[in-house]
Amino acid sequence: MTDQSKSPDLVFPADPPGSESTWRSKSRMSRSGRLASGVRYKNSLIRCIRNIIPKCSRILHIGSGDGSLLSGLEPEVGVGVEPALDLVDKATADYPQYSFHSSEFEGFEIEGKFDFVLIADVLLDVYDIDAMMRKVRVACSPDTRVVVTNYSQVWRPILKFLRFLRIARPRFGNTWFSPGDVRSAFERTGFQLLSERCEVLFPSRLPIVSSLFNRFLSQLPVFRWFCLHRIYVARLDPEPITPKPSVTVLVPARNESGNIPRLMSEVPEMGSFTEVIFVEGNSTDDTWEVLQEAIAQRNDPLYRLIKQPGKGKGDAVRAGFAEARGDILMILDADLTVAPDMLPRFYEAVSSGRAEFANGTRLVYQMHDRAMRFLNLLGNHFFAKAFTYVMGQPIRDTLCGTKVLTRESYNKIVANRDFFGEFDPFGDFDLLFGAARLNMKILDVPVRYGERVYGETNISRFRHGTLLFRMLFVGARKLKFR
């Protein structure tokens, strides 16, 4: 490779200037010269990608270069694919704990499945993106996330000018993919786009200024369109869960004794079996005694009752899910403002694979006149827009109590719970933020929202509204301005 880079005549002795082999040879030489530098830039990119790919993951890195980016992510298993042989040799020498392979992006053969496939800054060097993505599919399981970073076209004239001033290194190729081009490539090759965000507004390192631009301004409207990078996260097109998954319906119940008879009779059968777990939450009425009697009369091992160990709905959800045996986990509020007959549509959304997290929304259909007070309605609309901005996926209603996800997805959220800490008394945001952090596919499911017919709401609009602002701040700091 070194001798060839010194003598172009040795590289293309028989190939016309526009041939594929000529293009690939020039691309390999360009990568060798370009990727050997830029330590500050790589550190900035590592920071961005670490927010998506946690440590100790199984990572396949397409375009691994000298291996420094892969090493910076600290994977449990790291495999790199790189067409420039000298960079492969350097990566192998510097990071022997990982495996590096010399191959074109469209022709690699790697065994096994990975948690993440990282395609960082290589689209400019890809000869055939569809062929590459078909190879990527082979390395993906349904849970794999594909992370693609790509230069913004806004920076194309800027980089050209910087190269003219010899501030930026020259590079080969004019394959600049627009955001629409990347989205279309995912769609053509059997991937579903989950999220898209802009990163790196100020590529150079300058104390305070770099942090201000890259962590905060880059995520604001207008400013984000001038970022150097777009980062895309995708997964394989969904497939139905097989065999037919079972269900656990979790019913947190505090001061809801008058609703127990309806709950016992109206929860529908779903999947291979439907388990119902009531979690009684330190009621001041006779909810515990009524539940004990109702479950004894039913005499069904799939209907169970546990007493909540702590306080708050979030604690009840965690206690109940720890006891659950179903493949799909559902939360149904005991106030029956969302009727149990809505649950099968959540089951369909998750069991079909179209959603990994199904979130109920009360703000689509017209609700009963007295179902939600006006100030609560305004607050729900505001927080829906605010949390959509923070989470990067559309969330129409953050506080609807009906939420459904697979047991596997829930276990992943639990394993990453330390990232946010114990901050959520409601339980809704522990799940929503966790799903957003792990780039799960969140899908809104409209529900009919009715008036409470027994008891009083456990929500205080002002006290809990203050808590919502606190959780919005936590989400913004951890997910958006990170």
What per-residue confidence (pLDDT) applies to 427? 80
293: Cβ–Cβ under 8 A, 6 or more apart, which residues? none
pLDDT at 101 over 70: yes
Instruction: Report the amino acid identity of residue 241.
Output: I
Nearest to 144 by CA among 244, 77, 45: 77
297: Cβ–Cβ under 8 A, 6 or more apart, which residues? none
pLDDT at 163 over 90: no
* CB distance 391 to 474 below 8 Å: no
pLDDT at 7 over 60: no
The tokens describing 172, both together, are: 């080969």
366: Cβ–Cβ under 8 A, 6 or more apart, which residues? none
* CB distance 441 to 238 below 8 Å: yes
Q: What is the C-alpha to C-alpha distance for residues 325 and 92, in angstroms, rounded to an integer?
A: 45
DSSP 89: H
- Choose between 376 and 92: higher pLDDT: 92
- Helices assigned H by DSSP within 283-406: 287-298, 313-323, 343-351, 374-391
**8-17, 159-168, 295-304: the lowest-pLDDT one:** 8-17
Helix, strand, coil shares of the chain, percent, nearest 5, are 45, 20, 40
Please say whether the dihedral angle defined by the alpha carbons of residues 181, 435, 68 and 217, taken in this order, is positive or negative: positive
Interval 253-274 mean pLDDT: 95
Interval 61-79 mean pLDDT: 95
Instruction: Report the amino acid identity of residue 92.
Output: T
What per-residue confidence (pLDDT) applies to 208? 76
What per-residue confidence (pLDDT) applies to 371? 66
pLDDT at 164 over 60: yes
Pick the most confident of 159-173, 216-230, 295-309, 369-383.
295-309
pLDDT at 156 over 90: no
What per-residue confidence (pLDDT) applies to 460? 56
338: Cβ–Cβ under 8 A, 6 or more apart, which residues? 332, 360, 362, 400, 401, 402, 447, 448, 449, 450
Nearest to 78 by CA among 26, 108, 34, 118: 118
pLDDT at 239 over 80: yes
pLDDT in tens, 431-467: 999 999 999 999 999 999 888 777 666 555 556 678 7
Structural domains of the chain in order of their starting residue, each with its CATH number: 2-236 (3.40.50.150), 247-480 (3.90.550.10)
What per-residue confidence (pLDDT) applies to 26? 61
What per-residue confidence (pLDDT) applies to 15? 47
Burial class (CB in 10 A: 0-12, 13-18, 19+), 2: exposed
Interval 387-406 mean pLDDT: 88
Find the helix or strand (DSSP H, E) in which 120 lies.
Answer: strand 114-120
* CB distance 347 to 271 below 8 Å: yes
284: left (phi over 0), alpha (psi -120 to 50) or beta: alpha
Interval 372-388 mean pLDDT: 80
* CB distance 281 to 250 below 8 Å: no
Percent of the chain residues past pLDDT 90, beyond the cut: 52
Query: Chain-wide mean pLDDT for the chain?
Result: 85
* CB distance 352 to 437 below 8 Å: no
Interval 120-140 mean pLDDT: 92
pLDDT at 18 over 60: no
